[in-house]
Amino acid sequence: MGLITPDLGLLFWTGLVFVLLLVILTKFIWKPILASVNAREQKISDALELAEKTKAEMHALQAANENLLKEARAERDAIVKDAKETAVKMVEDAKNTAKAEANKIVESARATINTEKTAAIAELKTQVAAISLEIAEKIIRGELSSDEKQKALAEKMAGDINLN
């Protein structure tokens, strides 16, 4: 058997074994192995893609949250401002109302006082008139207690009239 002369028997066995090996390996071994490896690679690439997508989603969500927060803050500020304004206005209103009420009470008091005063003055007037009348009566009585006196008075009065 020369080193570089092909041998028919070995060629036959090599061919037989190789073809059998090729068929068996392809059908029962390479197929499941390659299928599994491919499936796993698909799974990994899918997972990576999903992670990337989730990350983007998270990003979007975060941005949305940020916006929401900003909006909420603005709203809160607006509400607080509103509330402050309302409070100020309420106090103002209350003050005004109170002032008006006080004014009204003062006015009313003043009116009452005036009325009382008028009444008092009227009473006083009446009494003064009565007292005056009494005094005048008394004086007249005294004046008219004698004829002379009566005469003198009449004269005097007449003189007064003349004077006027």
Partner 1 sequence: MSLIFSAKRFFTLIAAMVILTPTYAFHPGEPIPEEEFEVGEMIMHHISDAHEWHLWGGHHNSVSVYLPIILVDGGLKTFSSKHFYHGTPKKAVVDSLGKTVEYIVGSGPAAGYAMFEEEIYKLKDGELQFSKMEKKDGNEKLVYTEFPVNASALDFSITKNVLSLFMGAVLVLLIMGSVARFYKKNGPVAPKGLAKYLEVLIVMVRDDIAKANIHHHKYQKYVPYLLTIFFFIFINNLLGLVPFLPGGANLTGNITVTLFLAVATLLVTLFSGNRNYWGHIFAMPGVPWPVLIILIPIEIVGIFTKPFALMVRLFANMTAGHIIVLALISIIFINQSEAWGMLSVPMALFISVLELLVAFLQAFLFCMLSALFIGAAVEEAHH
Binding-site ranges for partner 1 (CB under 8 A): 1, 3-15, 17-18, 20-22, 24-26, 28-37, 39-40, 42-43
Residue 45 CB, shortest distance to partner 1, in Å, is 12
Q: Are 111 and 103 spatial neighbours (Cβ–Cβ below 8 Å)?
A: no
CA-wise closest residue to 139 among 123, 159, 157, 127: 157
Q: Would you say 48 or 58 has its CB closer to partner 1?
A: 48
Residue 48 CB, shortest distance to partner 1, in Å, is: 15
Among residues 48 and 83, whose Cβ is nearest to partner 1? Answer: 48
For residue 150, give every residue at least 6 positions away whose Cβ sits within 8 Å of its Cβ, in sequence order, or none. Answer: 143, 144
Which lies closer to partner 1 via its Cβ, residue 41 or residue 66?
41
Nearer to partner 1, 41 or 107 (CB): 41
Query: Phi then psi for 7, rounded to 5 degrees?
Result: -115, 125
**In the complex, least distance from residue 55 CB atom to partner 1, rounded to whole angstroms:** 23
**Rounded alpha-carbon distances, angstroms, from residue 92 to 20, 82, 98, 147:** 104, 15, 10, 80
Query: C-beta of 2: minimal distance to partner 1 in Å?
Result: 8
Nearer to partner 1 by Cβ, of 18 and 97: the residue is 18
Give the shortest CB-47-to-partner 1 separation in angstroms: 11
Contact 43, 37 (CB under 8 A): no
Q: Write the DSSP assignment of 135-152 as a string of letters.
A: HHHHHHHHHTSSHHHHHH
